């Protein structure tokens, strides 16, 4: 005879799930025991369920397939929520197996009881409680199939007295769906788009992660249109390399070239993107949007021509209908602006920048204490990281420095909480990535605030020998919040972090660790850390006052920053 728990774990193993993340607990004991007896699945016991959910979300994003995490009754389930919201917002198929009190106690306000179906209603595309062995395998199939088909979170709650229930031999094996195929665009929609693009004088592309399987087709269309290409952060993964049309990102991590390319175009062509920041879209333009998800159309900016279809199939049909644009002034101007800005940024990556005449003024403004510039650290990582490294970034300034100085060339991958915007995601997401392939380099670009929030799961890296490389941008601040305050004229408050020596903490846990406080030591330290076996933490003390200038700083932002700095000096205890 087999049990409910046995069937669940066997079916997941047959599907290809190779790890399950969580914290053990009474209601799920039959499930974790089934994992113990299943050689194809590794149980990864984390120190906080949130870390396990982040890890599973990363795995689902990297494989585009199901990942699994678990949390037992009440608090254990609640702890999963933030990581599951990250999966929801990232459209990652994750199955969360949740413990519940025994059936006879459900609804009685029993110890640790929460209503899982209500608790997870917003985060999940499917949520149900298994209350009878007769519901197997149908309920499991519905949960997994919903996660895979709708690219989201499915929650299956199992009361403490259900997992061990025996199943009859006649119960069939669960069957899960495969991914749906791409949808082709209607010919009349493609023809209408071609007419608009052929009549346009200046076209700018905004390309997102949804176009990652259409790289060749996107480049072909950009070439025909002589169009500069603005990339979302998540699109760096597919379009950073050998791309003569790329001009970087928009939004707060953008640059003057992208702002100019938006402002001067007459047609904006959006491909596979749901870029959320409305204030950075240009106004008064003809907008074309190609997206496989119709709910994305027009929710960020008004769209004149919509194509709800697969990007690759749409562009394949579109390219033969386009008339090549002979004059490429729009592209040339944008690329020149981007290259000029990039060269100016590159100056900040020199260890001796502070001693050069060009660096004297900025040193007095934003680095009077000669601390390590984060640009220098990011550039060193770019030089020494493997060609197929997986990067994870914490939300905030570490993402800014990656966007500007680390290229997603070769087989590099990029994961972050780019839709939810959570703190503390990078390290646990790195754990998930490393569990997929321990031989592949995985680099977590962690903020000091993010790392310290879930620092206990550094132990998970040691326990399971996950060779992640954790680079800490240790500026003693909640850096993005500090910048947001200063841009509106507020002095920073509540952003200063009383950090420990992260390297010493890591060594106490069992990681190899290096601490860097001098700029001329950064390059060698990065090289050494990335070359070492096993999990490694590199703690780099960086400048908290580094200015990440938005693409087109307004007069109000500049004035606000000046006022904030004046207030900070006036109230400084020094």
Same structural domain, 205 and 292: yes
Q: Give the DSSP H/E element, type plus range, for residue 18.
A: none
pLDDT computed for residue 484 by the predictor: 82
Over residues 215-225, mean pLDDT: 98
Distance in angstroms (rounded) separating the CA atoms of residues 323 and 200: 11
Same structural domain, 399 and 447: yes
Is 262 part of a structural domain of the chain? Answer: yes
Same structural domain, 415 and 537: yes
Over residues 505-513, mean pLDDT: 98
Over residues 190-196, mean pLDDT: 98
pLDDT computed for residue 573 by the predictor: 40
Give the closest residue to 283 by CA, choosing from 262, 253, 259, 252: 262
For residue 267, the SS3 value is: strand
Helical residues (DSSP H) of 152-228, grouped into ranges: 187-199, 215-225
Give the closest residue to 97 by CA, choosing from 170, 41, 149: 41
- In the structure encoding, which two tokens stand for residue 450, read together? 């993010």
Give the closest residue to 474 by CA, choosing from 459, 493, 455, 457: 455
| Chain position carrying tokens 């595309």 | 125
Same structural domain, 438 and 336: no
Is 536 part of a structural domain of the chain? Answer: yes
Is 349 part of a structural domain of the chain? Answer: no
Distance in angstroms (rounded) separating the CA atoms of residues 43 and 331: 51
Q: Give the DSSP H/E element, type plus range, for residue 161.
A: none
Is 173 part of a structural domain of the chain? Answer: no
pLDDT computed for residue 552 by the predictor: 57
Is residue 556 very low, low, confident or very high in pLDDT (cuts 50, 70, 90)?
low
Over residues 265-290, mean pLDDT: 96
pLDDT computed for residue 567 by the predictor: 53
Helix 138-150 to helix 4-15 angle (10° resolution) is: 30
Distance in angstroms (rounded) separating the CA atoms of residues 239 and 407: 9
Over residues 458-474, mean pLDDT: 98
For residue 369, give Cα distances in angstroms to 361, 379, 473, 478, 493: 13, 21, 17, 19, 20
Give the closest residue to 439 by CA, choosing from 537, 527, 534, 536: 534
Is 462 part of a structural domain of the chain? Answer: yes
Sheet containing 512-516: which strands, arranged edge to edge? 413-416, 390-393, 442-447, 468-474, 536-541, 512-516
Is 348 part of a structural domain of the chain? Answer: no
- Supply the pTM of this predicted model: 0.93
Is 350 part of a structural domain of the chain? Answer: no
pLDDT computed for residue 555 by the predictor: 45
Q: Exposed, middle or buried by CB within 10 Å (0-12, 13-18, 19+), for 188? A: exposed
Pick the last residue of a domain from 340, 367, 401.
340
Same structural domain, 318 and 401: no
CB-side exposure of 154: number of CA atoms within 13 Å? 24
pLDDT computed for residue 561 by the predictor: 44
- Residue pair 436/65 in contact (Cβ under 8 Å)? The answer is no
Same structural domain, 212 and 142: no
Over residues 521-541, mean pLDDT: 98
- The structural domain count of the chain equals 3
CATH number (domain holding residue 40): 3.40.50.970
Q: Exposed, middle or buried by CB within 10 Å (0-12, 13-18, 19+), for 264? A: middle
pLDDT computed for residue 551 by the predictor: 61
Pick the last residue of a domain from 280, 305, 340.
340
What are the pLDDT digits (tens) for 92-123? Answer: 999 999 999 999 999 999 999 999 999 999 99
pLDDT computed for residue 359 by the predictor: 62
Same structural domain, 320 and 389: no
For residue 454, give Cα distances in angstroms to 221, 330, 420, 460: 44, 46, 17, 11
Q: What is the mean pLDDT of the chain?
A: 93
Is residue 563 very low, low, confident or very high in pLDDT (cuts 50, 70, 90)?
low
CATH number (domain holding residue 296): 3.40.50.1220
pLDDT computed for residue 356 by the predictor: 72
Over residues 467-471, mean pLDDT: 98
What are the pLDDT digits (tens) for 51-87? Answer: 999 999 999 999 999 999 999 999 999 999 999 999 9
What are the pLDDT digits (tens) for 27-44? Answer: 999 999 999 999 999 999
Over residues 293-310, mean pLDDT: 96
Same structural domain, 412 and 300: no
Q: Is the pLDDT of residue 290 over 70?
A: yes
Domain that residue 523 falls in? 355-571
Q: Is the pLDDT of residue 572 over 90?
A: no
- Residue pair 153/147 in contact (Cβ under 8 Å)? The answer is yes
Same structural domain, 45 and 163: yes
Same structural domain, 90 and 214: no
Same structural domain, 218 and 147: no
- Measure CA 565 to chain center: 32
What are the pLDDT digits (tens) for 357-384? Answer: 666 666 666 777 778 999 999 999 999 9
Is residue 528 very low, low, confident or very high in pLDDT (cuts 50, 70, 90)?
very high
Is residue 487 very low, low, confident or very high in pLDDT (cuts 50, 70, 90)?
confident
Is 174 part of a structural domain of the chain? Answer: no
Pick the last residue of a domain from 340, 369, 386.
340
Q: Is the pLDDT of residue 574 over 60?
A: no
Helices (H) and strands (E) in the chain, counts: 23, 19
- Residue pair 232/273 in contact (Cβ under 8 Å)? The answer is yes
| Chain position carrying tokens 């004046």 | 566
Same structural domain, 381 and 268: no
Taking the CB of residue 426, how many other CB atoms lie within 10 A of it? 34
pLDDT computed for residue 365 by the predictor: 67
Distance in angstroms (rounded) separating the CA atoms of residues 530 and 527: 5
Taking the CB of residue 212, how many other CB atoms lie within 10 A of it? 17
């Amino acid at each position: 005879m087999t049990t409910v728990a046995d069937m669940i774990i066997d079916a997941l193993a047959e599907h290809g799930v190779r790890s399950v993340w969580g914290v053990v607990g009474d209601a799920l004991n039959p499930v974790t025991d089934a994992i113990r007896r299943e050689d194809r699945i590794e149980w990864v016991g984390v120190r906080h369920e949130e870390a396990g959910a982040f890890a599973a979300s990363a795995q689902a994003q990297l494989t585009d397939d199901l990942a699994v995490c678990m949390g037992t009754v009440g608090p254990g389930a609640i702890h999963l929520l933030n990581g599951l919201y990250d999966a929801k917002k990232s459209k990652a198929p994750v199955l969360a197996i949740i413990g519940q009190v025994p059936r006879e106690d459900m609804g009685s306000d029993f110890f640790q009881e929460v209503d899982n179906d209500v608790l997870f209603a917003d985060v999940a595309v499917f949520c149900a409680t298994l209350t009878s062995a007769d519901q197997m395998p149908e309920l499991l199939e519905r949960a997994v199939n919903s996660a895979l088909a709708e690219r989201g979170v499915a929650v299956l709650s199992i009361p403490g007295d259900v997992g061990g229930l025996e199943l009859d031999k006649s119960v069939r094996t669960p069957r899960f769906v495969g991914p749906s195929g791409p949808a082709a665009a209607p010919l009349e929609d493609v023809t209408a788009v071609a007419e608009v693009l052929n009549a346009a004088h200046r076209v700018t592309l905004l390309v997102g992660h949804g176009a990652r399987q259409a790289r060749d087709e996107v480049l072909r269309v950009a070439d025909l249109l002589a169009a500069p290409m603005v990339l979302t952060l998540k699109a760096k993964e597919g379009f950073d390399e050998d791309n003569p049309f790329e001009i970087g990102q928009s939004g707060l991590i953008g640059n003057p070239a992208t702002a100019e390319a938006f402002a001067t175009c007459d047609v904006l062509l959006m491909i596979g993107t749901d870029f959320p920041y409305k204030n950075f879209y240009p106004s008064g333009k003809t907008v074309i949007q190609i997206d496989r998800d119709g709910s994305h159309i027009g929710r960020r900016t008004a769209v004149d021509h919509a194509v709800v279809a697969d990007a690759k199939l749409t562009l394949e049909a579109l390219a033969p209908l386009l008339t090549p644009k002979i004059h490429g002034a729009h592209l040339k101007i944008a690329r020149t602006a981007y290259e000029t800005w990039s060269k100016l940024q590159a100056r900040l990556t020199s260890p001796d920048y502070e001693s050069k005449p060009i660096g004297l003024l900025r040193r007095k403004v934003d680095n009077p204490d000669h601390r390590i510039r984060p640009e220098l650290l990011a550039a060193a990582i770019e030089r020494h990281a493997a060609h197929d490294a997986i990067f994870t970034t914490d939300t905030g300034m570490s993402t800014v420095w990656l966007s500007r100085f680390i290229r997603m060339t070769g087989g590099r991958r990029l994961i972050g909480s780019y839709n939810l915007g959570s703190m503390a995601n990078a390290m646990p997401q790195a754990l998930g990535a490393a569990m997929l392939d321990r031989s592949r380099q995985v680099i977590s670009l962690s903020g000091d605030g993010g790392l310290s929030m879930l620092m206990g799961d550094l132990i998970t890296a040691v326990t399971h020998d996950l060779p992640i490389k954790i680079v800490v941008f240790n500026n003693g601040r909640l850096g993005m919040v500090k910048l947001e305050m200063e841009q509106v004229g507020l002095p920073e408050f509540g952003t200063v972090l009383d950090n420990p020596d992260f390297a010493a903490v890591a060594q106490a846990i069992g990681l190899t660790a290096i601490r860097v406080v001098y700029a001329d030591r950064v390059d060698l330290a990065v090289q050494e850390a990335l070359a070492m076996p096993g999990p490694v933490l590199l703690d780099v003390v960086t400048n908290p006052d580094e200015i990440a200038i938005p693409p087109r700083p307004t007069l109000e932002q500049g004035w606000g920053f000046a006022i904030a700095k004046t207030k900070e000096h006036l109230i400084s205890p020094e």
